[in-house]
Amino acid sequence: MLMKPAGIVGIILIVVGIIALAYGGFTYTKREKVIDAGPLQVSADKEHQVQFPPVLGVICLAGVVLIINLIQGRRPL
């Protein structure tokens, strides 16, 4: 059984909304070259943070409610 596109979008919005509300962002590490002088190379690991505002989670979850209302409004009685 295939899912409808609106159902897939709804699931993605639920996941993004929960992650945004629960975690508030994520951190990743990137290796950067500090010195590159011929055979001498020095690199350092730098941590970068990506923050999600809590309002993003609320908007995503509100979008799910909107999608559900639109889907139910299209169904004949």
pLDDT the model gives residue 26: 85
Identify whether 21 is part of a domain. yes
Identify whether 40 is part of a domain. yes
Q: How confident is the model at residue 25 (pLDDT cuts 50, 70, 90)?
A: confident
Give the length of the chain: 77
Identify whether 3 is part of a domain. no
Residue type present at position 35: I
pLDDT the model gives residue 17: 87
- Return d(Cα 60, Cα 43) in angstroms, integer: 39
pLDDT digits (tens, 9 = 90+) for 27-74: 999 999 888 888 888 999 999 998 888 888 889 888 888 888 887 776
pLDDT the model gives residue 75: 56
Identify whether 1 is part of a domain. no
Identify whether 22 is part of a domain. yes
Q: Number of structural domains, the chain? A: 1
